[in-house]
Amino acid sequence: MSDTVLSATEEFVRLQLQHALTMEDDSLASLERLEQASRSPEVGELFRHHQEETKQQIENLHRVFGELGLPMLASPSPATKGIVQQAETLLAQAGPTRQDEAALTAALGSEHYEVAVYTALLASLTDGEPEVAYLLHSNLDQEHHTSNELAVCLRKRAH
């Protein structure tokens, strides 16, 4: 852990943005793995669709860095590494008939973390950045929507 103390809101937002960029990059890689693990065409298509959304979210983050005049750097995200590890554990322990449920459960956990990250980022912003807020809200809205889609799909498979 760094001994550096973040003294300004801008520095804190910068750090959160760097974590968010790593989070989305990790999510994209994980979604590819979850798509491969899925058994049903519906679940596979859901993961392919979310990969496209995630690519757009990464592009939105790139634009946020530009709007704020920040260098586009990623920062380690131990939380997403743990979420990916949890996904691998679920997939390994689920039998062949439960792969879709395991993949959906893993993705749902990731979505909830992503919602928390974007919610915190938006709470940390100052009012003087409407374009940044718009881009981050766009990502947050997509995360909420995907979370709902995953939950509905998981409920259908669990019953």
Q: Coil, helix or strand for 155?
A: helix
Please tell me whether the overall predicted TM-score, pTM, comes out greater than 0.85 for this model: yes
Q: How many domains does the chain have?
A: 1
Per the domain annotation, does 56 fall within a domain?
Answer: yes
Q: What is the pLDDT of residue 7?
A: 55
DSSP annotation of 40: S
Place of tokens 């760097």: 18
Question: How far is the C-alpha of 116 from the C-alpha of 120, rounded, in Å?
Answer: 6
Q: What is the pLDDT of residue 12?
A: 85
CATH of the domain at 114: 1.20.1260.10
Question: How far is the C-alpha of 21 from the C-alpha of 60, rounded, in Å?
Answer: 10
Per the domain annotation, does 1 fall within a domain?
Answer: no
Which residues of the chain have a pLDDT value below 70?
1-7
DSSP annotation of 127: T
Question: How far is the C-alpha of 71 from the C-alpha of 69, rounded, in Å?
Answer: 7
Task: Report the alpha-carbon angle 70-62-86, nearest 5.
Answer: 110
Per the domain annotation, does 4 fall within a domain?
Answer: no
Residue span of the structural domain in which 77 resides: 9-158
Per the domain annotation, does 25 fall within a domain?
Answer: yes
Closest-CA residue to 68 (of 132, 15, 155, 22): 132
Per the domain annotation, does 63 fall within a domain?
Answer: yes
Per the domain annotation, does 3 fall within a domain?
Answer: no
Per the domain annotation, does 2 fall within a domain?
Answer: no
